[in-house]
């Protein structure tokens, strides 16, 4: 009946192409049912093996004259030594920084000049190179890919540039709670297995040019490498271009060392990473799962979609839409060549963190305890199967899916049958798979947040719980409460002074800082004006008595386009007032009304007081601070990391390099060793900004 | 979700360059074009290479249609389109498309407001039904209006009032044009807060009746559908929506400028001064437009551009320097070609301005090299050809050809206009349009707090 009606309408449109057919019926008041789904055809692709052992996959698609080519090796971070974590990523980052006859600049010009791009990166299991361009540049694309994979030069200067950038990135991560949570989570889940490792300053510094050359020579070999070509090129053309570009390239990668087993947990562990004064908490809950070919993955994917997949999942609907505790909360099943993982994540206000963790655990259990209601199950599964065509719309998307399946060693028909297998999952199977995949009782709960508030509320949520600092070192819960300061500072030796600094971005002038210490009645007034290009513009005034007792702090200005203000008075052992500080989701305002430990310094005064501390090689000095922008007290540690000679416009100084553990923005301060001591340079870790003393 | 397309990404000039589609060697795209009796224009592009369909509905309304006292209505209205309709209560549009595995959005530009769904092809009917339901019976209530007036103000606070340079650009760049002769383009896209506050339900209803009628809309469907079935659905869902009145024509009388103008704009979010030199240029369908766009790429697009090399790397007078071509979207009226530099700390804005002026004078006097032209064409072609791989970007390109170039077939031929540009053309358009007497210079200075 339906078919006949349609064919009549079709005939009508042929006869009168510019007059639309009359409406067959009125506008329906309810949405139409899905139209029949054509059999889901995975787009065709072809495979071959080149004489040197490179596996070739071609997804020919002549729709547009574009081409994408990728080349993958089993050379991910699992293959690097534990003392050189970061080696695979550095190799990937250097492949196009001088290769074949071109230096880094010429390589970039070659691909950008014809319209296109090149990229390379290393993950846990694989190292991959990609080129995209118009198909008329196919020969150049293969030439550049072959140069980068076979003939990288690893110039010393590029190695050091990338090392500096990598170290800056690591330092920046220490200020990013999501990165701290991820590192802690991986380490707890995978233990000594390479999936549990993260690069550190020490492992990155240990990497030599010889290591890079040796890794490249051992691991980037043709035997078993995967070359995937997508777009306007046939298998025969791809084979011919690859054969020419890869001429003379032979050999197999070195055998992979056996990997240690993934630790088996019998009970849940909670790890609270203390981030003093954090107004939000990052939560990661999860456990290890199974290898990539496990048949339960389809049913588990549907269960995961219902739990935390996108804006229709339970986490999002309950934690954001109903409770308003977060901007978003999600869950995912991570697939690796070895054991994968289940992870549930969210970022919550400190005050509701324990409630949010409780709700997340409840919802995880609910997926195992009861079969999903029929409508919810149908909607979530429908979303997953419906989305699939949008994920294979372009030749490049198709190629990526085939490449992933081949690299992970999935069954030969995996990509073709994926959607049907998802569609065949029943609600009962989803429940059984949820029980196997979501096991926080044998997993880990990582929370990065303010330990002082959270430890008492969270420690009971798992059979075992431990507290660590942002470096991962164990902490005694007793250390969470800031104690009265035991520092005796020589306040009577203070003298009025003004210091002028220049702010530099990558060595160019970018702003200034002026600090002034002056008498204010019987006490002191310290004024700090800081301008960092368009990023920060602030003025801070702190007053304190001749005995060092804090009296008031006033700050005003803008940071990253957001207004900031602090107006806090210190009296009778308390701080009262208000503060507005910038944040990722707009300014945060807090009412300040808190007890202040005896001898605490306002955190805005620390730079000024630093030269008065008993600095010496290897010194670690606990300093009790009141963070007036957050309204909480904390104990920070001033640590002398070494001695360096520093040249700034004001002259050349022998200095102590000082770090402050506990402060939000990691910085290195350089304090002259000779009296009168002064701060002569401040470097912001992870960003190319320096403040240098002018006079 | 709904958003204004404006010059928000000041430091990403390339992304702001106009979308123009087409490809010389490609076979002609088969486009089935027709209109319903109520005036809804339809363009269907059948493509079974994937099981995906894009439903892209453009209403011929943008900030250019606003009149004094009613600015910001086009954008306010776009927000109202996500507040529910007769048979799809608030939130249901998004949930249903999400459950189908698809995505959706809407955006307001100077010349047009668009709404799209991008989803698996067997849910074409759902996307068409949802679009038809809100075209025929949008829920315009005082509560929804109040709610969205606040949402638009919050969007302004977050995206413009709180960002350096953006507010100055959005509010002052339109003064490049003359409000007497061309109010259509000479006012801000986000509108005045007073006008938005004054909006009443009757005003919004009148705006809807006038501009959101089928005769003022164009529907493009690209992807995997059977034409007879798609046409039957379009006829059933949209066919009985009544035709509206014909909107009044947009008036814009505007030649090139005759005297250099200069304005100092205080900006309370900026900490570094900036200079924007803007020039009047013709509409996107004008013969000179492709050369002007490639000129923008050569002097001010990316790391290897002339501005970046001269001002940022060599002289170190600017933190950033780039060219912006039509930062508020393509227009059928006059356009804007602008050079922007943000001064480095401690550098007087005059020296950055002097360098920019010198670079522009150099292009006018000496032109550009063949190699620069070729590189700019390659980058342009790769971007345009890549867009055609997916249903939604291609649907946007079809709309662009129909509305801005006046011929839907230009989706195949427009790249020819870019390929034909020579170094001599670029020198000629630089000489013709980048003249001091055709310019507005905005000197944006940090406001004292």
pLDDT in tens, A401-449: 999 999 999 998 999 999 899 999 999 999 999 999 999 999 999 999 9
CA distance B110 to B61: 8
Residue ranges in A424-496 assigned as alpha helix (H): 427-437, 451-458
Which residues in A lie closer than 8 A to residue B132 (C-beta atoms)?
27
Neighboring chain A residues of B304 at a CB cutoff of 8 Å: 109, 112
A284 contacts A343 by C-beta, under 8 angstroms: yes
Alpha-carbon gap: A593 to the closest alpha carbon of chain B (Å): 28
Counts of helices then strands in chain A (DSSP H, E): 18, 27
Lowest-pLDDT range of B7-16, B193-202, B253-262: B7-16
- Nearest Cα of chain A lies from the Cα of B259 at a distance, in angstroms, of 32
* DSSP class per residue in A168-211: HHHHHHTT-HHHHHHHHHHHHHHTTSGGG----HHHHHT--HHH
Tell whether A655 lies on the interface with B, counting CB pairs under 8 A: no
Which residues in A lie closer than 8 A to residue B232 (C-beta atoms)? 5-6, 9, 21, 24
Residue A57, Cβ density class (10 Å: 0-12 exposed, 13-18 middle, ≥19 buried): buried
A557 neighbourhood in chain B, CB within 8 Å = 449
How many of the other CB atoms lie within 10 Å of CB of B12?
A: 13
* Angle of helix A138-150 versus helix A235-245 axis, rounded to 10: 40
- Contact B122/A36, CB-based, under 8 Å? yes
Tokens for A488, please give them. Answer: 């005796």
Q: Is A561 exposed, middle or buried (0-12, 13-18, 19+ CB in 10 A)?
A: middle
Do A9 and B231 make contact, defined as CB atoms within 8 angstroms? yes
Looking up tokens 């006018």 gives B364
Q: Tell me the average pLDDT of chain B.
A: 88
- From the list A30, A43, A393, the residue facing B391 with the nearest CB is A393
Within 8 A by CB and 6+ apart from A494, the residues are A517, A524, A612
Distance between CA atoms of residues B289 and B418, nearest Å: 9
Query: Where is pLDDT greater, at A362 or A493?
Result: A362
Q: Kindly report the number of other CB atoms within 10 A of residue B406's CB atom.
A: 10
Distance, CA of A131 to CA of A117 (rounded, Å)? 6
Mutation site, B232, B340, B347, interface A, largest A CB count within 10 A: B232
Asked if A689 reaches chain B (Cβ–Cβ under 8 Å), the answer is no
Asked if A235 reaches chain B (Cβ–Cβ under 8 Å), the answer is no
Give A36→chain B minimum CA distance, Å.
6
Instruction: Count CB atoms within 10 A of the CB of residue A356.
Output: 23
Q: Among positive and negative, which fits the CA dihedral B12, B17, B23, B24?
A: negative
Query: Between A109, A113, A392, which is nearest B50 by CB?
Result: A392
For A332, phi and psi rounded to 5 degrees? -150, 160
CA distances from B208 to B61, B73, B214 (A): 10, 10, 11
From chain A, the residues in CB contact with B383 under 8 A are 115
Classify the complex by whether its ipTM is higher than 0.90, answering yes or no.
no
- Chain A hits for B122, CB-CB cut-off 8 Å, are 34-38
Over residues A554-568, the pLDDT tens digits come to 999 887 667 889 999
| Chain B CB within 8 Å of residue A48 CB | no
Residue B246 backbone dihedrals phi, psi, to 5 degrees: -75, 125
Q: If pLDDT is split at 50, 70 and 90, which confidence band does A656 have? A: very high
Please give the average per-residue pLDDT across A107-126, as a whole number: 90
From chain A residues 356-395, the ones with a CB under 8 A of any chain B CB are 379-380, 382-390, 392-395
| Cα torsion angle, A546, A548, A549, A552, sign | positive
Please, what is the angle between helix B73-80 and helix B201-211, to 10°? 90
Please give the pLDDT value at position B38.
97
| pLDDT above 90: residue A43 | no
Q: Does A624 touch chain B (CB under 8 A)?
A: no
Helix/strand/coil for A122: strand
Of A386 and A174, the one with more pLDDT: A386
Residue of A113, A312, A536 with shortest CB distance to B98: A312
The alpha carbon of residue A40 is apart from the nearest alpha carbon of chain B, in Å, by 8
How distant, in Å, are the alpha carbons of B2, B77, B229 from that of B209?
21, 12, 29
Q: Which two tokens stand for residue A539?
A: 């003025």
Judged by average pLDDT, the poorest of A311-315, A587-591, B291-295, B403-407 is: A587-591
pLDDT greater than 90 at residue A510: no
Reported as a single tens digit per residue, the pLDDT across B157-173 is 766 666 678 888 888 99
Q: Hey, what are A548's tokens?
A: 């060092």
The reported pLDDT for the residue numbered A583 is 64
Which residues have a Cβ under 8 Å from the Cβ of A449 and sit 6 or more positions away? A177, A272, A273, A274, A275, A278, A280, A281, A282, A350, A353
What does the alpha-carbon distance between residue B335 and residue B174 come to, in Å, rounded to a whole number? Answer: 10
Residues of A in contact with B98 (CB under 8 A): 310-312, 383
Q: pLDDT: is A63 or B85 the higher one? A: B85
CA–CA distance, A243 with A235 (Å, rounded to integer): 12
Q: Point out the residue among B49, B51, B228 whose CB comes nearest to the CB of A38.
A: B51
Query: From CA A302, how far away is CA A311, in angstroms rounded?
Result: 15
Q: What is the pLDDT of residues B330-365, one digit of tens each?
A: 999 999 999 999 988 778 899 999 999 999 999 999
Yes or no, beta carbons of B239 and A23 under 8 Å apart: yes
Q: Is A4 on the interface with B (CB under 8 A)?
A: no
**Lowest mean per-residue pLDDT among A171-185, A577-591, B50-64:** A577-591
Q: What residue of A is the nearest CA neighbor of B47?
A: A63
Number of inter-chain CB pairs under 8 A, A vs B: 219
| pLDDT (0 to 100) of residue B224 | 95
Which residues fall within 8 angstroms of residue B348, CB to CB, at 6 or more apart? none
Q: Which two tokens stand for residue A40?
A: 């889901």
Please tell me the distance from the alpha carbon of residue A681 to that of residue A665, in angstroms, as a whole number.
16
CB contact under 8 A, B231 and A503: no
Q: How many CB atoms lie within 10 A of CB A135?
A: 17
- Mean of pLDDT values over B404-428: 95
Q: Do A30 and B87 touch (CB under 8 A)?
A: yes
* B39 — pLDDT class (breaks 50, 70, 90): very high
User: Rounded mean pLDDT of B65-86?
Assistant: 91
Give me the pLDDT at residue A102, please.
95
Chain-chain contact of B36 with A28 (C-beta, under 8 angstroms): no
Record: contact A393-B88, CB cut-off 8 A: no
Query: Which one of A31, A380, A565 makes the best mutation probe of the B interface by having the most chain B beta carbons within 10 Å?
Result: A31
* Chain B contact for A313 (CB, 8 A cutoff): no
Neighbours of B89 (CB within 10 A): 11
- Between CA A6 and CA A11 the distance in angstroms is 9
Cα B166 from chain centre: 16
Find chain A residues with C-beta within 8 A of B374's C-beta.
113
Question: Mean pLDDT in chain A?
Answer: 88
Polymer length of chain B = 449
Contacts of residue A379 in chain B, CB cutoff 8 Å? Answer: 99
Answer whether B346 sits within 8 Å of A509, measured CB to CB: yes
**Cβ contacts of B31 on chain A, cutoff 8 Å:** none
Q: Do B132 and A9 touch (CB under 8 A)?
A: no
Beta-carbon separation of A6 and B391 below 8 A: no
Whether A530 contacts A546, CB under 8 Å: no
Helix %, strand %, coil % of chain A (to 5): 35, 30, 35
State whether A10 and B228 contact (CB < 8 Å).
yes
> Mapping DSSP to helix (H, G, I), strand (E, B) and coil, where does residue A261 land?
coil
CA distance B230 to A53: 49
Q: Is A503 on the interface with B (CB under 8 A)?
A: yes
Residues 71-110 of A with CB under 8 A from B: 109
Q: Do A383 and B99 touch (CB under 8 A)?
A: yes
Out of A470-474, B16-20, B108-112, the most confident range is B108-112
Using one digit for the tens of pLDDT, what is the confidence trace for A519-539?
Answer: 998 899 999 999 887 778 899
Task: Say if CB A313 and CB A330 are below 8 A apart.
Answer: yes
Q: How far apart are CA A89 and CA A253, in angstroms?
A: 18
Q: Which residues of A touch B305 (CB under 8 A)?
A: none
Q: A124-146, pLDDT tens digit by residue?
A: 999 999 999 999 999 999 999 99
Q: What is the pLDDT of residues A450-499, one digit of tens each?
A: 998 999 999 999 989 999 998 889 999 988 877 777 778 888 888 888 99
Residue A539 parent element (H or E): strand A536-544
Locate the chain B residue with the closest alpha carbon to A389: B51
Is some CB atom of chain B closer than 8 A to the CB atom of A260?
no
> Is residue A65 within 8 angstroms of chain B, CB to CB?
yes
H or E element, residue A285: strand A280-288
Asked, as a colleague might, if the bond just before A172 is cis with ω within 30 of 0, I would say: no
Q: Is the pLDDT of residue B102 over 90?
A: yes
Mean pLDDT of the region A588-592: 81
Residue of B87, B231, B239 lying closest to A29 (CB–CB) = B87
DSSP string of B234-291? HHHHHTTSPP-PPPPPPP------SS-EEEEEEETT-SS-EEEEEEEE--TTSTTHHH
pLDDT bin (cut points 50, 70, 90) of residue A108 is confident
The predicted pLDDT at position A6 comes to: 28
Query: Strand A497-505 relative to strand A689-693: parallel, antiparallel, unpaired?
Result: antiparallel
Bridge partners, residue B267, by sequence = B446
Length, in residues, of chain A: 695
Residue A23: which of B88, B240, B375 has the nearest Cβ? Answer: B240
Does the distance separating the beta carbons of A534 and B270 come in below 8 Å? yes
Tell me if B217 sits within 8 A of B58, measured CB to CB.
yes
The residue ranges of DSSP E strands in A561-619, in sequence order, are 562-571, 574-581, 588-595, 601-602
User: What is residue A205's predicted lDDT score, i.e. its pLDDT?
Assistant: 96
B120 to A382: CB separation less than 8 angstroms, yes or no? no
Pick the range with the lowest mean pLDDT from A13-27, B203-217, B228-242, B254-268. A13-27
Q: Do A386 and B270 touch (CB under 8 A)?
A: no
- CA-nearest residue to A67 within chain B is B386
Torsion of CA A374, A375, A379, A380, to 10 degrees: -40
For residue B4 the two structure tokens come to 């204004």
The whole-angstrom distance between residue B1's C-alpha and the CA centroid of its chain comes to: 17
**Whole-number pLDDT of residue A585:** 54
Q: How far is CA A381 from the centre of its chain?
A: 29
């Amino acid at each position: 009946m339906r078919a006949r009606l349609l064919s009549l309408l079709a005939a009508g449109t042929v006869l009168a192409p510019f007059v639309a057919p009359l409406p067959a019926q009125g506008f329906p008041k309810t949405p139409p049912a899905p139209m029949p789904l054509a059999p889901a055809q995975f787009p065709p692709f072809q495979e071959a093996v080149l004489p040197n052992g490179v596996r070739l996959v071609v997804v020919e698609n002549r729709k547009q004259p574009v081409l994408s080519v990728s080349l993958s090796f089993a050379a991910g971070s699992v293959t690097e030594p534990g003392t050189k974590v970061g080696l695979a990523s550095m190799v990937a980052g250097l492949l196009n920084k001088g290769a074949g006859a071109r230096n880094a600049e010429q390589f970039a010009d070659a691909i950008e000049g014809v319209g296109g791009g090149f990229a390379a990166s290393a993950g846990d299991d694989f190292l991959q190179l990609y080129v995209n361009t118009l198909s008329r540049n196919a020969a150049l694309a293969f030439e550049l890919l072959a140069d980068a994979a076979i003939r990288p030069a690893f110039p010393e200067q590029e190695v050091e540039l990338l090392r500096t950038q990598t170290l800056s990135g690591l330092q920046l991560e220490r200020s990013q709670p999501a990165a701290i949570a991820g590192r802690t989570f991986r380490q707890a889940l995978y233990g000594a297995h390479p999936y549990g490792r993260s690069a550190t300053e020490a492992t990155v510094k240990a990497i030599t040019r010889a290591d890079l050359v040796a890794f490249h020579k051992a691991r980037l070999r043709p035997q078993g490498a995967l070359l995937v070509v997508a777009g306007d090129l046939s298998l025969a053309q791809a084979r011919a271009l690859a054969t020419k570009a890869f001429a003379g390239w032979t050999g197999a990668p070195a055998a992979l060392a056996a990997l240690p087993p993934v630790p088996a947990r019998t009970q849940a562990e909670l790890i609270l990473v203390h981030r003093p004064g954090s107004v939000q908490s990052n939560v990661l809950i999860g456990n290890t799962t199974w290898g990539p070919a496990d048949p339960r993955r389809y049913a588990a994917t549907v269960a995961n979609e219902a739990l935390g997949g996108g804006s229709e999942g339970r986490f999002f609907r309950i934690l954001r839409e109903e409770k308003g505790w977060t901007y978003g909360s999600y869950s995912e099943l991570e697939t690796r060549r070895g054991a994968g993982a289940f992870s549930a994540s969210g970022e919550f206000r400190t005050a509701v963190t324990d409630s949010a963790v409780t709700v997340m655990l409840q919802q995880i259990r609910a997926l195992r305890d009861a079969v999903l209601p029929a409508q919810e199950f149908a909607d979530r599964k429908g979303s997953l199967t419906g989305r699939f065509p949008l994920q294979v719309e372009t030749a490049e998307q198709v190629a990526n899916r085939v490449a992933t399946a081949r690299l992970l060693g999935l069954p030969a028909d995996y990509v073709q049958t994926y959607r049907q297998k998802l569609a065949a999952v029943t609600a009962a199977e989803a429940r059984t798979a949820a029980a196997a995949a979501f096991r926080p009782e044998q997993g880990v709960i990582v929370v990065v947040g303010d330990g002082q508030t959270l430890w008492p509320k969270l420690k009971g949520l798992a059979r075992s719980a431990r507290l660590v600092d942002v470096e991962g070192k164990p902490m005694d819960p007793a250390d969470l409460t800031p104690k009265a300061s035991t520092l005796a500072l020589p306040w009577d030796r203070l003298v009025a002074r003004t210091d002028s600094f220049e702010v530099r971005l990558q060595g160019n002038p970018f702003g200034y800082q002026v600090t002034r210490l002056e008498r204010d009645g019987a006490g002191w007034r310290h004024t700090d004006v800081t301008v960092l290009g368009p990023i920060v513009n602030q003025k801070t005034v702190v007053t304190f008595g001749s005995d060092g007792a804090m009296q008031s702090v006033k700050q005003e200005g803008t940071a990253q386009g957001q207004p900031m203000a602090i107006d806090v008075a210190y009296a009778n052992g308390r701080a009262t007032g208000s503060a507005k500080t910038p944040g990722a989701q707009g300014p945060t305002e807090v009412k300040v009304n808190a007890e202040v430990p005896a001898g605490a310094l306002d955190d805005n005064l620390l730079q000024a007081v630093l030269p008065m501390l008993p600095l010496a090689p290897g010194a670690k000095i606990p300093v009790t601070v009141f963070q007036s922008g957050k309204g909480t007290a904390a104990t920070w540690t001033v640590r002398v990391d070494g001695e360096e000679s520093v040249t700034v416009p004001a002259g050349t100084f022998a200095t102590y390099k000082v770090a402050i553990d506990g402060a939000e923005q990691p910085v290195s301060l350089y304090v002259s060793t000779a009296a009168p001591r002064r701060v002569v340079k401040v470097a912001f870790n992870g960003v190319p900004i320096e403040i240098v003393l002018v006079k | 979700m709904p958003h204004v397309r404006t010059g928000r990404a000041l430091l990403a000039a390339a992304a702001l360059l106009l979308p123009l589609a087409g490809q010389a060697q490609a076979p002609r795209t088969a486009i089935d074009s027709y209109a319903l009796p109520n005036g809804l224009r339809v363009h269907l592009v059948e493509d079974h290479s994937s099981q995906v369909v894009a439903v892209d509905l453009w209403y011929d309304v943008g900030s250019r249609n606003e009149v004094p006292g009613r600015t910001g209505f086009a954008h306010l209205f776009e927000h109202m389109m996500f507040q529910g309709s007769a048979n799809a209560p608030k939130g249901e549009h998004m949930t249903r498309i999400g459950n189908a595995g698809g995505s959706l959005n809407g955006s307001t530009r100077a010349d047009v407001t668009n709404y799209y769904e991008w989803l698996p092809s067997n849910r074409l009917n759902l996307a068409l039904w949802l679009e038809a339901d809100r075209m025929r019976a949008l829920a315009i209530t005082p509560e929804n209006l109040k709610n969205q007036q606040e949402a638009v103000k919050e969007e302004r606070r977050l995206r413009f009032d709180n960002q350096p340079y953006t507010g100055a650009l959005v509010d002052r760049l339109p003064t490049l044009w003359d409000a007497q002769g061309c109010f259509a383009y000479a006012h801000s896209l986000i509108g005045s807060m007073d006008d938005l506050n004054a909006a009443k339900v009757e005003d919004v209803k009148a705006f809807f009746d006038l501009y959101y009628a089928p005769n003022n809309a164009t529907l493009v469907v690209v992807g995997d559908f059977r034409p007879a079935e798609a046409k039957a659905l379009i006829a059933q869902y949209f066919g009985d929506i009544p035709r509206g009145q014909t909107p009044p024509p947009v008036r814009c009388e505007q030649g090139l400028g005759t005297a250099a103008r200069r304005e100092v704009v205080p900006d309370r979010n900026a900490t570094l001064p900036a200079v924007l030199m803007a020039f009047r240029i013709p509409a996107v369908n004008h013969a000179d437009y492709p050369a002007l766009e490639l000129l923008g790429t050569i002097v001010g697009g990316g790391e290897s551009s002339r501005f970046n090399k001269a001002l940022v790397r060599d002289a170190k007078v600017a933190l950033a320097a780039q060219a912006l071509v039509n930062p508020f979207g393509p227009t059928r009226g006059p356009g804007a070609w602008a050079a922007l530099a943000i001064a480095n700390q401690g550098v007087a804005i005059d020296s950055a301005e002097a360098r920019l002026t010198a670079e522009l004078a150099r292009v006018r006097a000496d032109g550009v090299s063949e190699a620069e032209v070729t590189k700019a064409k390659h980058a342009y072609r790769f971007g345009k050809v890549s867009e055609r791989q997916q249903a939604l970007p291609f649907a946007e390109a079809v709309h662009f050809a129909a509305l801005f170039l006046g011929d839907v077939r230009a989706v195949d031929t427009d790249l020819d206009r870019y390929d034909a540009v020579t170094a001599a053309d670029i020198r000629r358009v630089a000489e013709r349009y980048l003249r001091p007497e055709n310019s507005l210079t905005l000197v944006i200075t940090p406001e004292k707090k």
